[in-house]
Amino acid sequence: MTLSTRPTITAFERSPDGGQGLARDMRVRWALEEVGEPYDVRPVSFAAMKAPAHRSIQPFGQIPTFEEGEVALFESGAIVLHLATRHDGLLPADPAARVRAIGWMFAAVATVEPAITDREAAEYLEPEAPWFAARLRAAEDRIGGRLADLSRRLGAADWLDGAFSAGDLMMADVLRRLGGSALLAGYPNLGAYVDRAEARPAFRRAFAAQRAFFEAHRAARQDPPRPGSE
Amino acid sequence: MTLSTRPTITAFERSPDGGQGLARDMRVRWALEEVGEPYDVRPVSFAAMKAPAHRSIQPFGQIPTFEEGEVALFESGAIVLHLATRHDGLLPADPAARVRAIGWMFAAVATVEPAITDREAAEYLEPEAPWFAARLRAAEDRIGGRLADLSRRLGAADWLDGAFSAGDLMMADVLRRLGGSALLAGYPNLGAYVDRAEARPAFRRAFAAQRAFFEAHRAARQDPPRPGSE
């Protein structure tokens, strides 16, 4: 519980993405910007993330978390849903459309993101393994299957189901993790979908905030600039 | 849209688990039993799952789906949340506890289940690969990390956060997928947690229903009995 009058989220003290906004605090920042709620950010070091104080809110020792008054929450999908439920603008009013939008939120984190993080894990943990090329190919085939399905469903529409919703916010942020790869290039409508999402003023404010946060915490420790981060 | 007065879910016409209730319709059946809502089940063949009619509801060509009146939904987490929101009994009344329970639902499908399905994928797709043993070890290490975190959080409690909730329903059903492996045996409190979940009358009714469904669809095609399924 915090005495602050505005919500506090946690983010990596030093994001491994070098300021690209690929960590999961980005989607929470973005949702907060979409609903117009100011927030504070508490940096968490990799050591602190695994310590009991942080684990009391996030049992798996990850970021982000969300704290506001009595509410202490983890899982980016749950946090965005909480914000979307408490504020207007991120979920449709029609009940059937509303549950479909929530369905897309689950699809983003349970069906699409695991395929993407699986490839990241292989790149991180197994780059020297003799099976790396085959393993990468299997991971990319799986991602390709998800993208093909998603691309077919999106078709020529701007968003997955009518107006922009928390489902699009989650899905677009998940797809952003593919940014550096050629995988998304095979699906021009998905690339345009991510571009459209990133052009939203709320996204741009959230992105700028995470970038400034990254730079401030690097500067505070006098780390050298990282190539491509500025 | 259906004219039926009760919800219809989809399930594998012939589940690859041989009637063990490890597919994702099980958690939806269980939630329907917990809230006391009768339902119909439409079997879907592997071919039909990938066809346009099914994909119009489930773009990734999977089961389960849920249809009731105007509502057509996919993603087991979203379906269970929809049921938990519309009926009493699966989410606490206290607002802060309610969002935490929803947080556990997301944790089940976004943080714990992907580690488990990753091992299943390796066993399914790569058993002949020269790297299989190393790959399996990496997948099991990742599962072990999640289980250690979850076990630490559960401690000596019956459920993850106070009374049984939709968060427990989702998490216990995800852990059930580990049934055949020794991984869960390392965490006796998690094994007892799953046992406790499976002892619930609603779980037992749902399990019996999926088993009867499996047997009926096998019998209808005159398949031979599968060892261990009866």
pLDDT tens profile B157-173 = 999 999 999 999 999 99
Q: Residue range A167-184: average pLDDT?
A: 93
Report the distance separating Cα A125 and Cα A121, nearest Å. 6
Sign of CA dihedral B147, B177, B42, B207: negative
Half-sphere exposure of B114 (CA within 13 A, CB side): 20
Distance, CA of B51 to chain centre: 23
Rg (CA), chain A: 18
Task: Indicate the helix (H) or strand (E) that contains B55.
Answer: helix B52-55
Q: Select the more confidently predicted residue: B136 or A38.
A: A38
Report the distance separating Cα B108 and Cα B150, nearest Å. 10
Delimiting residues of CATH 3.40.30.10 domain(s) in chain B: 8-89+202-220
Report the distance separating Cα A202 and Cα A197, nearest Å. 9
pLDDT 10s digits, A18-36:
899 999 999 999 999 999 9
Q: Kindly determine whether residue B109 and residue A113, on different chains, have CB atoms separated by under 8 Å.
A: no
Q: What kind of fold does domain A8-89+202-220 have according to CATH?
A: Glutaredoxin (3.40.30)
Confidence of residue A126 (pLDDT cuts 50, 70, 90): confident
Tokens of B111: 């943080």
Rg (CA), chain B: 18
Q: Residue range B105-119: average pLDDT?
A: 96
Q: Kindly determine whether residue A107 and residue B149, on different chains, have CB atoms separated by under 8 Å.
A: no
Q: Does domain A95-199 have CATH number 1.20.1050.10?
A: yes
Q: How far is B199 from chain A (nearest CA, A)?
A: 26
CB A172 within 8 A of CB A193: yes
Question: Among B70, B79, B102, whose Cβ lies nearest the Cβ of A81?
Answer: B102
Question: Among A110, A113, A129, whose Cβ lies nearest the Cβ of B134?
Answer: A129
Q: Kindly determine whether residue A149 and residue B102, on different chains, have CB atoms separated by under 8 Å.
A: no
Task: Indicate the helix (H) or strand (E) that contains B32.
Answer: helix B25-35
At B144, the amino acid letter reads G
Q: Output the pTM of the full model.
A: 0.94
Delimiting residues of CATH 1.20.1050.10 domain(s) in chain B: 95-199
Question: Among A73, A118, A153, whose Cβ lies nearest the Cβ of B59?
Answer: A153
Q: Kindly determine whether residue B75 and residue A107, on different chains, have CB atoms separated by under 8 Å.
A: yes
Interface of B with A in 53-82 (CB under 8 A): 55, 59-62, 70-79, 81-82
**Region at A17 (left for phi over 0; alpha for psi -120 to 50; beta for the rest):** alpha
Sign of CA dihedral A38, A13, A10, A92: positive
pLDDT score recorded for residue A91: 98
One DSSP character per residue, B116-162 reads: HHHHHHHHHH-TTSTTHHHHHHHHHHHHHHHHHHHHHHHTT-SSSSS
- Flag whether pLDDT at B114 surpasses 80: yes
Bridging pattern class, strands B65-68 and B71-74: antiparallel
